[in-house]
Structure 1
Amino acid sequence: MPSIAKGEERLILFESPDDFRFRVGYQEDLSLPKGHSFTIIGGYRFKKVNWLRCGVSSCKTLHGNGYVIRSADALETNIGHCCGQTILGAEWKAMFERFETRRKEEALQDVLARVLGTRDATLKQAETALHSLEAAAGTVRRIVTALECYGPLKRAFRDCLKQRGSLAYFRATTADEREMFRGQTSVRETKGHIDGWHAAAVDSNWLARELRFRVIVPLAEIQPDVLRGLPFRALEQRLRDFSSMASIVQMAEVYVEDAAKLSKPLNWHKFELYCDASKVQMDHQGYKALRTLAGTA
């Protein structure tokens, strides 16, 4: 890959005319004598409201798409792309080709830096997520095992998961309610919501496999030297691949957060109220399991 010399000034993308008008050496009216060499140091593309005159004294064409050029004696001015072709001809063509080569080199180096940085950051994040996921999965298994050891609790919890964590149930209406609601015999009520319920609905083993084999292993196998030899489009594809990997890492991180929410004692206090209100048939064993989870056993 072509390299840019250390300390060499980068090309500039000018966002407004003032970005170059106040530069040291800028001339609003500059002649371009033959035999003098110039270099393109940056470019601009302005909306019509910011169009400006060409800075070459023999031109002054109004334009919005152009470049800033610098002479060997450090004088600068702006010039439209078409102006450059018209005024400088073959010399402009050579200048523009050097500019384009440099622009592509810088773009390649920028995307390579992003790929290397994203690869390292995503790998570190994924390894941390996998470690946290394993601990969180143990917490969720403990909760689910405690609930599924007792049939009525198991069924009530599965109903809750089907309702996306809602602790909703139907109860018989009172005489006043039947009169108000024209004979309706039941009404839906809720005791709230199980925070972090999603952790109990996700297969943590599958998520760990996805994290390990679709993120950590592929990223660990990527060699920086191989990346440095890839063309621009291939590097952009790597960034898209890393974005997909980051989505898996995010899923694992959400699972860990949900597991922490699921283990909160308040959840199981609410769940006990829900079981009582929805007439779940429980004995001492069921209440003991819930109160152990709630930390009140």
Structure 2
Amino acid sequence: MSQLTYHLMNTSFSKDITPIAFKSAEQFQTRPNYQAALRCNTEELDRIVGKYELSEKEKLQCGLNGCNNWHWHGFVIRTKDGQETNCGKDCGSRDFKVSFKEIIAVYRRAEDAASKKDRLTQILADRESLLAEAERVTADVRIASSKIERIRAEIKKDAVLDRAFQSCMKVDGRIQVEDDASKRLREELGLPAGKADLRTIAVIRGGNALRQSSIIHYRLSRFLVEPLAGMTAQNLDALTTKQLAAESMRFGNLKQHLSDGRQFLTDAAEFNSAANIETLLLLQELIPKNARTSRLSRIFERLPQM
């Protein structure tokens, strides 16, 4: 590797300089120090500013040392006094006796590093906002699910009440009792006793929250908060660009967990509402009279206070 090649590779792709990928000739031709034609010898060359890869119909002439060859892939170079022009890789190799092949390889790595830096910055920004929201939702879920579990534990204290409750939840929370009018009509018509028609007197809301209350907090902690907390700048910086791209894709799954947590809170608010607790008291309509014990009465007294 020549001394100039080494110099270009170190000055053009240092940590403080991000290589520019020009999307059009206009982007570099309108730069304040651009010269359409520029004389530059080996000692005057400072660094490569960026590259361009245009379509064949956008081809342009090389501005270096009167070359004027038409091309569409090349570099924008800068002299030590700050002037800039464009040249093709063949022109650079010919005029400066440098290995543009090596420079191109380093340029690719610099592009990759810049891309990684941008992706890392975006991931960390997304992670901060998502983690704050995830921690808030998870904390609210813990409170809501704890109340559901207390209510559920209270109902389980009486086996008859628990069976009645589970039966209702199997039919979307509907509390159904025998229809007296239907029963009397059968008797008046002398029809044999059969299964009485049922009528719904109330509906227990928030069944989805009930089904998830025992596991939702663990799931959010394990599969949402912990992964986000682990996405530190240090950990992410150790990943390759490809691995960072995969981490970006993970945000979709993490956001779904967050959405599940929000939905749980909506359902839990229904189940834990004062109106729904009042509905639970109607379960006593399903309890046979001989099973209405003092223990059951105490349960119904405690439920509104939970």
TM score, norm. by length of structure 1: 0.58
In the TM superposition, what is the alpha-carbon distance from 1:85 to its structure 2 partner? 3.2
Instruction: Say whether the 8 Å CA contact 1:265–1:293 is kept in structure 2.
Output: no
Partner SS state of residue 252, structure 1 = helix
The answer on 1:60 being equivalent to 2:64 is no
Q: Compared with structure 1, are the counterparts of its residues 77 and 266 closer, same or farther at alpha carbon in structure 2 (3 Å cutoff)?
A: farther
Q: 1:146 to 1:226 in 2, by over 3 A?
A: closer
Who is 2:219 aligned against? 210
Offset at residue 199 of structure 1 (A): 1.2
Deviation (angstroms), 1:133: 1.1
Specify the alignment match of 2:107 in structure 1: 99
Alpha-carbon displacement from aligned partner over 1:132-157 (angstroms, at most 9, x marks no partner): 11111134335656777899997787
In structure 2, the residue corresponding to 1:30 is in which secondary structure? coil
SS in 1 for 2:37: coil
Distance 1:16 1:150 in 2: 77
Q: Is the 8 A contact 2:50 2:76 kept in 1?
A: yes
Report the identity percentage: 18
Q: Distance in 2 between the 1:227 and 1:107 partners?
A: 14
The one-letter amino acid paired with 1:52 is E
Which of 193, 201, 208 is residue 211 of structure 2 equivalent to? 201
For residues 161-191 of structure 1, the C-alpha deviation after alignment (integer angstroms, 9 at most, x for no partner) is 556x59799xx9xxxxxxxxxxxxx9xx9x9
- The range that moved more, 150-159 or 223-232, is 150-159
Superposition RMSD in Å: 5.2
Residue of structure 2 in register with 1:254 after alignment? 263
Contact 2:149 2:213 survives alignment (8 Å):
no
Counterpart residue identity of residue 129, structure 1 = V
- Please report how far the alpha carbon of residue 125 of structure 1 lies from its aligned counterpart in structure 2 after TM superposition: 3.8
Q: How does 1:174-189 map to 2 (within 5 A)?
A: none
Task: Please tell me whether the aligned partners of residues 68 and 78 of structure 1 are also in contact (alpha carbons under 8 angstroms).
Answer: yes
Whole-angstrom distance in 1 between the partners of 2:169 and 2:32 = 67
**Partner of 1:87 in structure 2?**
91
Aligned-pair CA distance for 1:68: 5.0
User: Structure 2-normalised TM-score?
Assistant: 0.56
Distance (Å, rounded) in 2 between the aligned partners of 1:270 and 1:75: 81
1:12 and 2:20 correspond: yes
Give yes or no for contact 2:148–2:268 (8 Å, CA) kept in 1. Answer: yes
Are 2:78 and 1:71 equivalent residues in the alignment?
A: yes
CA–CA distance in structure 2, aligned partners of residues 19 and 262 of structure 1: 60
CA shift for structure 1 position 69: 0.6
Matched, 1:30 2:37: yes
Give the partner amino acid of 1:208.
Answer: H
**Map of 1:183 onto structure 2:** none
- Mark the CA change 1:30 to 1:97 in structure 2 (over 3 Å): closer, same or farther: farther
Q: Give the Cα separation in 1 of the matches to 2:156 and 2:258.
A: 29
Cα distance change of structure 1 residues 215 and 71 upon mapping to structure 2, 3 Å threshold: same
Q: Which residue of 2 aligns with 1:182?
A: none
State whether residues 68 and 76 of structure 1, in contact with CA within 8 Å, keep that contact through their aligned partners in structure 2.
no
Bigger mean CA offset, 228-237 vs 124-133:
228-237
Change in CA separation of 1:137 and 1:226 when aligned onto 2, cut-off 3 Å: closer
| Cα deviation 1:72-93 (Å, max 9, x = unaligned) | 14444556xxxx2333335533
CA distance in 2, matches of 1:167, 1:39: 74
Residues of 2 paired with 1:268 and 1:44: CA distance? 68
**Structure 1: runs of 5+ lacking an equivalent:** 173-185
Distance 2:170 2:34 in 1: 69
Question: What is the letter of the counterpart of residue 30 of structure 1?
Answer: A
Q: Distance in 2 between matches of 1:42 and 1:200?
A: 60
Residue-by-residue CA offset, 1:183-203 (whole Å, 9 max, x unaligned): xxx9xx9x99956x4212214
Contact 2:75 2:89 in 1 (8 A): no
- Code of the residue aligned with 2:31 in structure 1: it is R
Specify the code of the residue in structure 2 equivalent to 1:138.
S
Structure 1 pair 13–5 and aligned structure 2 pair: CA distance change class (3 A): closer
Return the index of the structure with the highest Cα Rg: 2
